[in-house]
Amino acid sequence: MGNHQPERSESRGIAVGELNRIADALEVTLPEEALHRGFVDSLVYEDYMQEVFASYGVEPGSRGEYEFVTLGDYATQLRADLKNVSSSQVAIVYADGAIVDGNGTGKDVYGNTLAEKLARVRRNDKVRAVVLRVNSPGGSALASDVIWREMELLRAEKPVIVSMGAYAASGGYYISCPADVIVADRMTLTGSIGVYGMYLDAGAALKDKLGITFDGCAATPRPTWVSCGPSPPSNGRSSCAAWIRFTLPSRATWPQDATCRWPKCSTSRRGASGRVKMP
């Protein structure tokens, strides 16, 4: 993300205007075209890289092969020992991935897990401020609300800055709102289309296509109105609508409009009514 044209222009010796012209004209789509335009230095097969390494004095391993490390492993070795740097620290917490319920690890953001991390940071006296890096399309409304609550508690005790990545949409936007400051890249996709719900009525399809019908007995008048059977009665639909309205974060302090850069602006229901908001 971001505008890297000046760096590319300087490194390849190509003016920014020429880079834009080449991109607009789609003049570099093949490897040979990239070489001709000076985008790359050479085109070689993987096996030739051994000669390149040897020319730089790199020694192969015992089997005559070169050993590689992943970018993640390399970055891990570059981390500073923050415990010995200073008594005052700035904590960086990541919310990278879809927001889901519960606890866990992996590519998703688990609501309870992230809330617990924020709580530990809040209770750590050495941490004087917190940066939450959000790169999420959103997800579970419940998990987002769990995180949002912990963000509110955190902001009451320490400065909180949200740094938005490629996107911070829906629940990702929601958990960002309690921050004191929101920083977004010019290419960040953020905002929310609001909350929607649907009711699956598969009764006719199951009956007409598969010959499956519904029947049963129940102890209460409306025990199965959320199943995939016949459409719910009017009070069932009202309950669905009430639940969606409850999910709308009307108690949250959404940024009011595109010019508002502080999430403490007055509450605006437009933030949850389908208009994309750009902090």
Residues 206-216 have pLDDT tens digits of 888 888 887 77
pLDDT for residue 261 is more than 50: no
In which band, very low, low, confident or very high, does the pLDDT at 246 lie, cut at 50, 70 and 90? Answer: low
In which band, very low, low, confident or very high, does the pLDDT at 197 lie, cut at 50, 70 and 90? Answer: low
What integer pLDDT is reported at residue 208 of this predicted model?
A: 87
Q: 130: helix, coil or strand?
A: strand
Q: In 13-60, which residue ranges form alpha helices assigned H by DSSP?
A: 16-24, 31-36, 49-55
Give burial (CB, 10 Å; 0-12/13-18/19+) of 133: middle
Question: Is 203 within 8 Å of 229 (Cβ atoms)?
Answer: yes
Cα gap 232→245, rounded to integer Å: 18
Cα gap 226→199, rounded to integer Å: 8
What integer pLDDT is reported at residue 134 of this predicted model?
A: 95
The per-residue pLDDT for range 112-170, each reduced to its tens digit, is 999 999 999 999 999 999 999 999 999 998 899 999 999 999 999 999 999 999 999 99
Tell me the residue type at 260. Answer: C
3-state secondary structure 132-153: EEEEECCECHHHHHHHHHHHHH
Residues above pLDDT 70, as percent of the chain? 71
Q: How far is CA 118 from the centre of its chain?
A: 17
Per the model's pLDDT, the better-predicted residue between 161 and 29 turns out to be: 161
As given in the structure block, the two tokens for residue 118 are: 């924020």
What integer pLDDT is reported at residue 206 of this predicted model?
A: 84
Residues above pLDDT 90, as percent of the chain? 33
Average pLDDT, the chain: 78
What integer pLDDT is reported at residue 258 of this predicted model?
A: 32
Please enumerate in sequence order all residues whose Cβ is within 8 A of that of 74, keeping only pairs 6 or more positions apart, or say none: none
Listed in order, strand segments (DSSP E) in 108-245 are 109-110, 127-136, 160-169, 181-184, 189-191
Per the model's pLDDT, the better-predicted residue between 266 and 62 turns out to be: 62
Question: Is 35 within 8 Å of 19 (Cβ atoms)?
Answer: no
Global pTM?
0.54
Give phi and psi for 53, each to the nearest 5. -60, -45
As given in the structure block, the two tokens for residue 251 are: 């108690």
Backbone CA torsion sign across 68, 70, 73, 75: positive
